Amino acid sequence: MTLLSVENLTVALPPGGDRPHAVEGITLAVNPGEILCVVGESGSGKSITANATMGLLPKGLPVTSGRIMFEGQNLLALSPEAMRRLRGQRLAMIFQEPMTALNPVMRVGEQIAEAMRVHGVGGNAAARVIELLAAVNLPDPAATARSYPFRLSGGQRQRVMIAMALALEPTLLIADEPTTALDVTTQMQILRLIREIQGRRGTGVMFITHDFGVVAEIADRVAVMQKGRIVEQGPAAEVLNNPQHPYTQGLIAAVPHGGAMMTPPSTAPLVLQAKGIEKTYRRPGGWFGPKPVVRAVHDADFVLRKGETLGLVGESGSGKSTLARCVVKLVQPEKGEIVFEGADLRPLSRGAWKPYRKRIQMVFQDPFASLNPRRKVGDIIAEGPITHGTPRAEALARARELLSLVQLDAGAMERFPHEFSGGQRQRIGIARALAMEPELLIADEPVSALDVSVQAQVLALLADIRARLGLTMLFITHDLRVAAQVCDRIAVMRRGAIVEQGPTAEVFGNPQHEYTRQLLDSIPGRGWTPPVLAAE
């Protein structure tokens, strides 16, 4: 007997959108004790499906046809009051952003107890809360119950959210990208926790994600969505290893394969040498006691040889971005040497740095924030060379060439950034960096804000440009699969220090440091090797 069955669900979009329906003709089912992964790229309608089930659709998106049957009743036909009683008690949801999903001014134990009290079962709430917090493997549940959300880390908050969702023992749990905002090691713990709890209680889970690694990790069955439709549905092993629909095949082919390249150690001349860089942030403390100190970067020496790519990997807060920003003087380190082709860049003034700006360029993480929204794309690409004295006409002609190098047509010159998709914007960002004809390119998470298929295109573009122009690259990423694919050597950072570095194959094949091993173990779906498809 199925627990939840969505039958032929269609949700309309407001007129004037790029398509008439947010989701169209969706049919899927979740059985008790089963994890159904709904997977798709951004805008595919997967969150709409989840919100429709919870009765959380915004007013502008009406359901035009279909039924959502849950335990024998049609959820769409229920009154708001009846729906409210079901929500939380029988159906529960975990959201993506654990940072904002909890009330910041209420103790977490209180919040979980409130969820129970609302449904009239708050009698022994205090004891239940502690039980629940223990069930989600939080250390010292009694103390956690008394703390405010800001004292907890992202992973801990997500555990609290899960505890809250489970408080009334729902039969169906909907998880909307619950691990996307978390670090890999935390993600793995949360995935294991969901799997374990679901197994223990026989809850049905509808798990929404964009990451095929996560799918491989926990799914029993998979539904693949594209532009509001389900294009393929089936048992996880089937869909992952033998995808039928071309879209699924494309998505799986785009998953970074993680196979490390074997490259002989480079003996080319040194381009960049970072020695003893230290950056410490001091927060303004009170009048008494020491100021809180965060050592963002320390003990992070590395060298870059001509033509090679060094991957800087680590979790958020490990200092990898700060280290990269020290190299381009966006952050001023207080100690150390940054030797670029024999000259120490750290003590240089703004003016003395200017000649090096041409030679060291950077690609930023967020394609939506890294282009000035008020300037035309042509100007954005050409302004670097113009700043350095290239005549305007020549710089614009060069910008045109660069656009074709990054596979955009010349018509883009006259348009504004908001007219482009994320992947296209990232190409513009790359073109802007290349316009300076740099010798060293620093790429700060250049693909982490992009969908997997776009990610594959941008990575291919970077690899191509790098080979063609002989660029040296410092590549920062939190995604080990991407790092394995792109980098010749890897440096693993933790809490501001590089704990291990070496050739990619060696670091991944034979990790020396215990933290590296932990990171590698946390790659979701590491037991699954994406099949080599005929489509490629």
Partner 1 sequence: MKDFWRRFSRNRGAVVGLVILLLVCLVAALADVIFPGSPWDMATAPFMPPGEEGMLLGSDSLGRDVAAGIAHGSRISLMVGAVSTVAALAIGVSLGALAGYLGGWVDDAVMRFTEFFQTIPSFVFAILLVAIFTPTIGSVVFAIAVVSWPPVARVVRAEFLSLRSREFVQAAEVLGKSRLAIVVTDILPNALSPIVVLSSLMVASAILLESALSFLGLGDPNLMTWGFLIGSGRSVIRIAWWMSVFPGLAIFLTVLALNLVGEGLSDALNPRLARKRGGAA
Angle at 216 between CA 215 and CA 219, to 5 degrees: 55
Residue 436 sits in the site that holds partner 1 (CB under 8 A): yes
Residue 418 sits in the site that holds partner 1 (CB under 8 A): no
- For residue 286, the minimal CB distance to partner 1 (Å) is 19
Q: Which stretch binds partner 1 (CB under 8 A): 276-284, 292-300, 358-366, 394-402?
A: 358-366
Number of residues that bind partner 1 (CB under 8 A): 27
Between CA 275 and CA 345 the distance in angstroms is: 12
Between CA 432 and CA 30 the distance in angstroms is: 47
Q: Which stretch binds partner 1 (CB under 8 A): 195-203, 217-225, 231-239, 356-364?
A: 356-364
Q: Counting every residue, how long is the chain?
A: 536
Q: Which stretch binds partner 1 (CB under 8 A): 23-31, 48-56, 71-79, 350-358?
A: 350-358
Give Cα 475 to chain centroid, integer Å.
16
Nearer to partner 1, 44 or 370 (CB): 370
Between CA 496 and CA 277 the distance in angstroms is: 10
Report phi then psi at 311, rounded to 5: -95, 130
Q: Are 197 and 204 in contact (CB under 8 A)?
A: no
Residue 353 sits in the site that holds partner 1 (CB under 8 A): yes
Nearer to partner 1, 136 or 360 (CB): 360
Which residues make Cβ contacts (< 8 Å) with residue 49, sequence separation at least 6? 6, 9, 23, 26, 28, 38, 208, 225
Between CA 79 and CA 81 the distance in angstroms is: 5
Residue 201 sits in the site that holds partner 1 (CB under 8 A): no
Strand duo 172-176 + 229-235: pairing:
unpaired
Residue 284 CB: number of other CB atoms within 10 A? 6
Beta strands in 14-62 (DSSP E): 21-30, 35-40
Nearer to partner 1, 366 or 506 (CB): 366
The 385-414 site mask, x for binding partner 1 (CB under 8 A), equals --xx--------------------------
Q: What is the 3-state secondary structure (H, E, C) of 140-168?
A: CHHHHHCCCHHHCCHHHHHHHHHHHHHCC
- For residue 327, the minimal CB distance to partner 1 (Å) is 10
- For residue 458, the minimal CB distance to partner 1 (Å) is 16
Among 87, 221, 427, 432, binds partner 1 (CB under 8 A): 432
Residue 460 sits in the site that holds partner 1 (CB under 8 A): no
The 359-388 site mask, x for binding partner 1 (CB under 8 A), equals -xxx-xxx--xxxxxxx-------xx--xx
Token readout for 119 is: 């449904």
- For residue 331, the minimal CB distance to partner 1 (Å) is 10
Q: For the chain, what percentages of helix, strand and coil (3-state, to nearest 5) are there?
A: 40, 25, 40
- For residue 416, the minimal CB distance to partner 1 (Å) is 12
Nearer to partner 1, 203 or 426 (CB): 426
Residues 289-328 interacting with partner 1 (rule: CB under 8 A): 328
Binding site for partner 1 (CB under 8 A): 328, 330, 350, 353-354, 357-358, 360-362, 364-366, 369-375, 383-384, 387-388, 429, 432, 436
